[in-house]
Amino acid sequence: MANHINFTSTYNPNLEAWGGNETFDPLKMNAMFSQILGNIAAVESSIPGNIIDVRNFAPGDGTDQSVQIKAFFDSAQEGDILLFTPGHYKVVKSGWFYTFNGKAVTIRAHPGAILEVSDQGLRFENSNHIEVSGLTLRRTTQAGWAKGRTGIYVENSSNVILQNNDISKFTDGIGVNGSTSQENPSRNVIIRNNKLHHLGEEPIAVRTNLAFVIISQNDCYRYLGDGILIKATWNVFVTTNFLHTPVLSTDADYTTFTAGQQGSNVPKVGGGITCNNEGGETGARSLHIHDNSVIGTAFGVGLIGFRGAFVTSNFFSNIRNSSVVSVSFLPSQFNPNDESNHIFVIQGNYIDSILRSNPTAAIEARTNNGIEGMDIGVISDNIVIPNGNHWGIIADGNIIIKGNYIAKAGIAMDLSNGVVATSNIIQPGFVTTNPDRMVSINDHVTFTSNSISGKGTSLKIRGSNSVITGNRMNYDGNWWAVHFDNANRVVENNIIKDNVLLVSSSATGRYLFGSSAFSNGKNVVIDVVKDNNGSFYQLVNDLVLTGPNSTRWRVTVDANGNIKGTKV
């Protein structure tokens, strides 16, 4: 298929071209949406066609009308509109009921028009324009997980609109595969305002060599796979979708959706939005996941092996099985060519409650590749309330964490290897008998201008070469406010300076414990403390006094609590 539609907008949707300080801009997204619609409309207006009414072929009375509906589809010429008027149109055929190949075709349905198929739905290939609007398309019986039955399937086609449809009882609701060429990808695909439900796997799946895809305002429920699956697709906008009420392993009809299959690969609950590089040579690029509601699913958003992603202004609630938002670039079956050049922004999301009994993370972005493992990531302005013994944010790599609000978490933050965390508000954690630490700081972390309140250890320092300055800690626990945890770890070369530690009158714990006071100058602590007796003083772990002729004396407190002076 010759792809002669050029994208001419002045808006560059490639996230890698954006300035480092730019945030999600809905005006730019709307411009992108309008441009794609304009491209499709230009093609549509250039193709002449007639309106063909299904009632000229089939009665719509719920009987088997396979021959008549096939004749109805066969009658379509380039650019014709196939119109389903109200009625129940049933077809019986093994495999795909009908394949439109190389033909620009529009299928529209009036309210009350139902197309029932016995096996596979409708397939479209090698077309320069496809529209399916307003159709209720359902399978006669429920298709199970991994059975490969799809309601609407599109391959190697551009200028596609799938909207206002109600699709149910298949394995996948809508599947769109791109071209076989990266140089000439399929493009301009809009999937919007569909109701997709009672599905063995994905409501929506888009895969491989696709560009400029908008998935918007879809209602997805009662499914067992991922809610929206994106593989190796470029310039994707996933906005204002509603994913909720997935199939659960505790449901009475669970075995219907699994088709009786068992094993570790069979999902126990339907998922959220997944973007990965499985099957792609270059990986997914420039993803915008904005203003979606994801409720009660296995996870929220999973990003694996991509270049450039915004995850912004989404609502996540009652996530069941794993991290709410996770970012990974580690080699795996979902990132087979170890995709690099990673840029991501996770901003302005509201995360409310994780239902999993074992600890997981609300937001997790980590790598085992060391300090340079990620090019750049930003996690900012999120409201994170796990309501359980879970991490708020786990971050490992060159990631900026700023302006987040975290409350009712087991551990609010766990930071490593280049993370810069600033201006975050951390409120009391999930209530337990022995609350854990509020923040873990491992190696090479900058932690500044944050506010921490709660009963758990405010800061547990478990590594080296970190800078911790200008933070306000309000401690109300019975453990240690700041803990240098050097058990089986090297804890040195950390600078802890100009922080304010307020210890409440009910606190029974210590202020510092561990290697700091006895580290022979390996860490520097100079902080202001107000203790539980109301005393206000400056806390210094090591004091070096200088005198004439460069004389220097180190003044410390030894292990027995005695003042010790050593000439250095």
User: What does the pLDDT read at residue 9?
Assistant: 34
CA gap 130, 79 in Å, rounded: 9
pLDDT in tens, 46-66: 666 799 999 999 999 999 999
* Residue 431 pLDDT > 80: no
User: What does the pLDDT read at residue 75?
Assistant: 96
CA gap 309, 6 in Å, rounded: 24
User: What does the pLDDT read at residue 267?
Assistant: 95
Task: Confirm if 217 and 196 have CB atoms less than 8 A apart.
Answer: no
Instruction: Please state whether beta strands 536-540 and 524-530 pair in parallel, antiparallel, or not at all (unpaired).
Output: antiparallel
User: What does the pLDDT read at residue 134?
Assistant: 98
User: What does the pLDDT read at residue 568?
Assistant: 78
Greater confidence (478 vs 100) lies with: 100
Task: Confirm if 311 and 346 have CB atoms less than 8 A apart.
Answer: yes
User: What does the pLDDT read at residue 518?
Assistant: 42
Mean pLDDT over each residue of the chain, to the nearest integer:
86
The residue among 301, 444, 432, 457 whose CA lies nearest residue 379 is 301
User: What does the pLDDT read at residue 238?
Assistant: 97
User: What does the pLDDT read at residue 2?
Assistant: 35
pLDDT in tens, 243-295: 999 999 999 999 999 998 988 889 999 999 998 877 655 667 789 999 999 99
| Residue 8: other Cβ atoms inside 10 A | 8
Measured in degrees and rounded to the nearest 5, phi and psi for residue 527 equal -135, 165
Task: Confirm if 116 and 91 have CB atoms less than 8 A apart.
Answer: yes
> What's the token pair of residue 178?
């791109």
Q: Give 130: exposed, middle or buried? Use CB within 10 Å, 0-12, 13-18, 19+.
A: buried
Q: Which of the residue ranges 243-252, 290-299, 314-323, 545-554 would you say has the lowest mean pLDDT?
A: 545-554
Top mean pLDDT of 157-161, 372-376, 433-437, 488-492 is at: 157-161
Share of the chain above pLDDT 70, in %: 83
> What's the token pair of residue 483?
């803990």
CATH 2.160.20.10 domain locations along the chain: 39-271
Those residues whose C-beta lies under 8 Å from the C-beta of residue 31, and which sit 6 or more positions away, are 9, 11
* Residue 68 pLDDT > 70: yes
Task: Confirm if 448 and 473 have CB atoms less than 8 A apart.
Answer: no
Residue 332: pLDDT band with limits 50, 70, 90: low
Cross-strand bridge partners of residue 52: 82
Burial annotation 550-559 (CB, 10 A radius, 16+ → b, else e)? eeeeeebeee
> What's the token pair of residue 300?
């929220």
| Strand, helix or coil for residue 69 | helix
> What's the token pair of residue 31?
């411009």
Residue 557: pLDDT band with limits 50, 70, 90: confident
Task: Confirm if 144 and 260 have CB atoms less than 8 A apart.
Answer: yes
Phi/psi zone of residue 212: left (φ > 0), alpha (ψ -120 to 50 degrees), beta?
left
User: What does the pLDDT read at residue 486?
Assistant: 81
User: What does the pLDDT read at residue 329?
Assistant: 61
Residue 552: pLDDT band with limits 50, 70, 90: confident
User: What does the pLDDT read at residue 517?
Assistant: 44
* Residue 234 pLDDT > 60: yes
Measured in degrees and rounded to the nearest 5, phi and psi for residue 23 equal -115, 180
| Strand, helix or coil for residue 540 | strand
Q: Which helix (H) or strand (E) holds 554?
A: strand 552-557
The model's pTM is 0.88
* Residue 513 pLDDT > 60: no
* Residue 80 pLDDT > 90: yes
The mean pLDDT of 424-453, rounded to a whole number, is 91
Greater confidence (197 vs 24) lies with: 197
Per-residue CA distances from 370 to 93, 283, 413, 488, 525 (Å): 55, 22, 18, 20, 27
User: What does the pLDDT read at residue 141?
Assistant: 98
User: What does the pLDDT read at residue 121?
Assistant: 98
* Residue 516 pLDDT > 50: no
The mean pLDDT of 175-182, rounded to a whole number, is 92
CATH top-level class for 39-271?
mainly beta
| Strand, helix or coil for residue 390 | coil
pLDDT in tens, 454-499: 988 899 999 999 999 999 999 888 878 888 888 888 888 898 888 8
CA gap 310, 279 in Å, rounded: 22
CA gap 200, 172 in Å, rounded: 7
The residue among 278, 324, 298, 135 whose CA lies nearest residue 227 is 298
The mean pLDDT of 145-171, rounded to a whole number, is 98
User: What does the pLDDT read at residue 343?
Assistant: 83
